[in-house]
Structure 1
Amino acid sequence: MTEGNFVDYVKIYAESGKGGKGSVHLHREKYITKGGPDGGDGGRGGHIILRGNENLWTLVTFKFKKHFKAGHGEHGSKSRSTGSDGEDVYLDVPLGTVVKDSETLEILFEITEHGEERILAEGGMGGRGNWHFKTSTNQTPRYAQPGIPGQEVEVILELKVLADVGLVGFPNAGKSTLLSVITSAKPKIADYEFTTLKPNLGIVEYRDFQSFVMADIPGIIEGAAEGKGLGHYFLRHIERNATLLFLIPADSDDIAKEYQILLDELRRYNPELLDKERLVAISKSDMLDQELIDEMTQELDKELKGIPYMFISSVAQQGITELKDKLWAMLNN
């Protein structure tokens, strides 16, 4: 998936169909000159329906088409015939899509399961035909109900990536490189900050044809929780990850301090993120000799206080298999 095709925020306009009119008709046939009212009801207007689809990973289908309109209900006719319902319009969205009112930003609902359907704009009811209004004192009513108009809504669709493992780290920590090595994803890689501006997803193939999904979340910077950089756009994707993999380069001035800054940004954005399982991976470890690794291990044992960590190198393919094993164990714990 290319970065330009990863769309995680769109605003759409939806208009449901209006209901058909009820019929004003009096029954007539040979030898029956005054058969009474028999006007049928109008059909319901079409709904606009959002439907979860596990095969979609992005809102790119709404990038160029943002206006949707459902069909109108047919009018009722004679012999109490009800008009056909208007055609419903189904909009498939990826799992993890949050629907918000575009004015109040109130969350209306979320789509989290495959096949889940939620009505975004309800079609108008059809009007009742004149046979409903027959009474003992008014046996030939010559009126019927009009159809109810459809709804017009403007909403924001916001995607929170559903992935098993979320890669968390500062810009240029090597997250995209790791994703390209551990999965078949081809993210943009360069030696400057904010190479990644959209989440990249990859399938990690594990033993016995099993797999899990890893997401490369764009780099967090200090102050991201307050929206610094593109903080809120980045951090919302971490909410739906089952396990968080913190990636910190071995040449960092202070590995434990970087980890605490990242953790603090998550805490300030949403304290519930700290309930997720965490693993720290020290990347670019091919630059270290065994003596230096032993020395760093003694310090990290004290400073990380029980949080599991491991040394890896994406370029040299060191510790990648062990990393997969550890992540798989955490996901299936």
Structure 2
Amino acid sequence: MFVDKARIFVKGGKGGDGCVSFRREKYVPAGGPDGGDGGKGGSVIFEVDEGLRTLMDFRYKKKYIAQNGENGRGKKQFGKNGEDLVLKVPPGTIVRDEKTNLIIADLVENGQRAVIAKGGKGGKGNIHFATSTRQAPNFAESGSLPDERWVILELKLLADVGLIGFPNVGKSTILATVTSAKPKIANYHFTTIKPNLGVVEVDNKSFVLADIPGLIEGAHEGIGLGLEFLRHVERTKLLVHVVDISGIEGRDPIDDFDKINGELRQYAEKLSKKPQVVVANKMDLVQSEEVYKSFEQEMNKRGYEVFGVSAATGKGLKELIRYIAKRLDEIEEIPVVEEEETFKYYTIQENDQEEIIVRKENNYYILEGKRIEKLFYSTNFDDMDSLRYFQNFLVKKGIVDKLKELGIQDGDTVKIFDFEFEFYD
């Protein structure tokens, strides 16, 4: 089965907590702090594997969480870093942040990597908080919280050649005939609702051929399978435009050809300028040779090479495949930009966790944010030095000033998560 879109949750590992420890060696009656740092949490990393052709692995498992960092230990022993979680994806995978719909990574080349959810930093042990006046700090820093997000994976085929055309013109039959692919084939519209891939081998050369879902009018506006279709056309080097020359369904091949190219043009101008080879299929059903000759002359006037074939009998397909292989050697691959959004990349900010939100709700003054959460759980409220460190942090970061701007008075309640404190300046 070909799966070209998936929605998954990724989360890095939490950083390990710093350790509160003091030297306890014999003959050292007043040993100083020796708590080690916590290890860094593992990150969720996507890596391109050219052996994959589908996002099938992400269809059933939806959540991926990297390993947490180990907590620090005494004797200045650092905690072990959490292992990164490496997820393999096929070439041509785009990773979007679901919340913003912006692109986090565009993964094309084999071995290419992108960090999608960073692990949290390890917390500092109490050895870092010793000063000339605070020689026995009874507190350490908690590990940072990791990045977590829902992401959308989209696979854009990296096929060399794309078969395009209206539904039921014989694209799947051509693919099945010239490759070992086994697409579902039947005589009704929209048989192909997912792209099919096959490898064509001819004259000691090979190329990847994609049978892409049929197109209808209005596709550039998302009607039918339109946008799903057009997304897969972008990275092909050559388009093989298949039309039904027999007209047995009452369709005009020239009109069909113009409509398909019109949809390509309205979706992206560069897309419509890709090299095309025109294939007049179902020649075995043509009543008059003049029908094909008239079509061929019109296409030749427009600068297109035309091949009359019969996918059902195999007639003309060898000549077509040899011509395609020759054209591919002559074409330089030009990346197609289908929309402005391609340039809008999601930037993972280093200070995302640093923001502390200060707000007033009813009679409470509330502090929120990952940074305040980390500080809060690092504080030993039974220890005066730790409490003083906590208070000094709030002053240095301007939190106390923000509370005053909101009108806080002595005796008012400050709420941090489920804990309440009385404010005194």
TM-score by length of 1: 0.94
2:361 corresponds in structure 1 to none
1:248 corresponds in structure 2 to 243
> Residue by residue, what CA displacement relative to the aligned partner does 1:254-279 show, whole Å, maximum 9, x if unpaired?
32221111001011112221232111
Q: For 1:301 and 1:246, how far apart are their aligned partners in 2?
A: 14
1:257 corresponds in structure 2 to 255
Q: For 1:152 and 1:291, how far apart are their aligned partners in 2?
A: 63
Q: Quick check: 1:30 aligned with 2:29?
A: no
Q: Residues 293 and 151 of structure 1: is their aligned pair in 2 closer, same or farther, counting only changes over 3 Å? A: closer
1:40 corresponds in structure 2 to 36
Q: Which has the higher contact order (CA 8 A, sep 6+)?
A: 1
One-letter amino acid matched to 2:278: V
Q: Residues 49 and 141 of structure 1: is their aligned pair in 2 closer, same or farther, counting only changes over 3 Å? A: same
> Residue by residue, what CA displacement relative to the aligned partner does 1:187-232 show, whole Å, maximum 9, x if unpaired?
1111111111100100111222x21100000110111111111211
Instruction: Name which of 118, 124, 127 aligns with 2:123.
Output: 127
> Residue by residue, what CA displacement relative to the aligned partner does 1:282-330 show, whole Å, maximum 9, x if unpaired?
111233465654444334323xx11222111112222211111111112
What secondary structure sits across from 2:14 in the alignment?
Answer: coil
Give yes or no for contact 1:16–1:122 (8 Å, CA) kept in 2: yes
Instruction: Give the percent of matched residue pairs that are identical in Structure 1 and Structure 2.
Output: 47
CA shift at 1:71, angstroms?
1.4
Instruction: Name which of 273, 276, 279 aligns with 1:275.
Output: 273
Q: Quick check: 1:156 aligned with 2:158?
A: no
TM-score by length of 2: 0.74
Q: For 1:271 and 1:295, how far apart are their aligned partners in 2?
A: 28
> Residue by residue, what CA displacement relative to the aligned partner does 1:88-136 show, whole Å, maximum 9, x if unpaired?
2111111111111212222222111111111111110000111122223
Q: Quick check: 1:325 aligned with 2:299?
A: no
Q: For 1:297 and 1:153, how far apart are their aligned partners in 2?
A: 53
1:175 corresponds in structure 2 to 171
> Residue by residue, what CA displacement relative to the aligned partner does 1:144-179 show, whole Å, maximum 9, x if unpaired?
111111222011111111100000000000000000
Q: Quick check: 1:70 aligned with 2:66?
A: yes
One-letter amino acid matched to 1:71: Q
Aligned length: 326
Q: Quick check: 1:80 aligned with 2:49?
A: no
1:91 corresponds in structure 2 to 87
Q: For 2:68 and 2:141, how far apart are their aligned partners in 1?
A: 16
Q: For 2:295 and 2:239, how far apart are their aligned partners in 1?
A: 22
Give yes or no for contact 2:299–2:305 (8 Å, CA) kept in 1: no
Q: How does 1:138-149 map to 2 (within 5 A)?
A: 138-149=134-145
One-letter amino acid matched to 2:173: T
Between structure 1 and structure 2, the one with the greater Rg is 2
Q: For 1:294 and 1:187, how far apart are their aligned partners in 2?
A: 31
Give yes or no for contact 1:39–1:129 (8 Å, CA) kept in 2: yes
Q: How does 1:185-200 map to 2 (within 5 A)?
A: 185-200=181-196
Moved more, 308-317 or 69-78: 308-317
Moved more, 144-153 or 212-221: 144-153
Give yes or no for contact 2:217–2:259 (8 Å, CA) kept in 1: yes
One-letter amino acid matched to 2:55: L
Q: CA RMSD in A?
A: 1.5
What secondary structure sits across from 1:98 in the alignment?
Answer: strand
